Each structure stands twice: as structure tokens, then as C-alpha cells.
Amino acid sequence: GQAAELLKELAHGEAFVKATRHKIPSSRMLDREFVNRFLGFYLLGVNQYNGNLEEFMNAVMSILKCAEKDVLDHCRTDFTRSMVCAKELFGDYAFRRKRTNGTYAALNRPLFEAVSVNLAKLKEEECQILQKKKELVNAKYDELFENTEFVTAISDGTAKIVNVRITHKMIRDMFRRIIEND
């Protein structure tokens, strides 16, 4: 149906593939899982998440099955814009956790969800402000990886409600502070 087609389209889209550096294999549909996670938090929001990720992702698929064309178009537009913005802001380190030794780990699902959804919810002008302040964005992003609460939230028990909320809130607040101090 249209829900599965949307996942496939977004997962194979150039913006997603570039932002994730071709690192999410489409074998076993892992790429579609990333997109589904995005759509869940984008459409349903963090507060609707009940701690059961599979149930949450199934709920968003049910919504998308009968969604109007304009809802699907908004999902496409905002997802693509968020991927382009993430790639421009973070380059090869988009959605990757910085380790204490300064190297970067593999793509991190909680980071992907929080960064992509929070970028998708910004207006185009707000994304442009972040891009103009790219160095500050990256400095503040790196600071998050020095915050024990944040690192724990994206590393241990990542599907717990409290950790999902912490991750999204800290990313959202970081973007907001940078945008509002223009």
C-alpha cells in the first residue's frame, strides 16, 4: 500500500542515502526501519510513544495507509529537507555519536530520530539560520556528547520512554537556543 511505498521511496531517496553515507543497508529493510522511526516520531510525536517501538511503528504505518495525499507530501518534503539539512550541518558525522577519544561511532538510531525529526519540524528559514551558524551547531552538538545523561539516553535502554524524551528534548533545545540567539 501507500505506506510501504512511502517508506521505500524515502529510504531509496538521494537525500537519505547521502545523509547516511550509504551506511544503512537495504537488505533486511534496515533503511526502511530508520525511515519508519522518523515517521513515527514526526507524525505521532514523542509524547505518544509508549515504550513499545514495534507497536509505535505499526501505529504510524496504519495511519499512513489511509492518509491523504497532502499528509504524505508533507512527510516527503520535511523528511527530505531534514536529510539535506543534517548532511549540510554535520557532513559525514550526521547521526553518529562522538566517542570520548574524538572518533565517531556508527550511525545511531536515537540520534537519527531526534536530529531528523527536530530538523523536519523547523521552518526553512530556521534551517538556514542553523546552516549560517554551522560551527556553533557542531560545537554545541559535540558538547552533548560530554553530557552523561545524553550519552546514556542514546546508548543504554534507548527505547525507554524517558531516554527517548531526553534525546529529543536535548536536541530540540539545542537547535532552539541557537536559532533564537540570532
Q: How far, in whole angstroms, is CA 29 from its chain's centroid?
A: 17
Q: Give the separation between CA 49 and CA 174, rounded to whole angstroms.
A: 22
Q: Considering Cα of 7, then 153, then 24, then 14, what sign does the dihedral take?
A: positive
- What's this model's pTM, rounded to 2 decimal places? 0.95
Cα angle value 8/71/17 (rounded, 5°): 30
Q: What is the tens place of the pLDDT at every residue in 122-170?
A: 999 999 999 999 999 999 999 999 999 999 999 999 999 999 999 999 9
What would the pLDDT profile of 77-102 be if each residue is shown by its tens digit? 999 999 999 999 999 999 998 888 88
Q: Taking the alpha carbons of 20, 75, 137, 139 in that order, is the dihedral positive or negative? A: negative
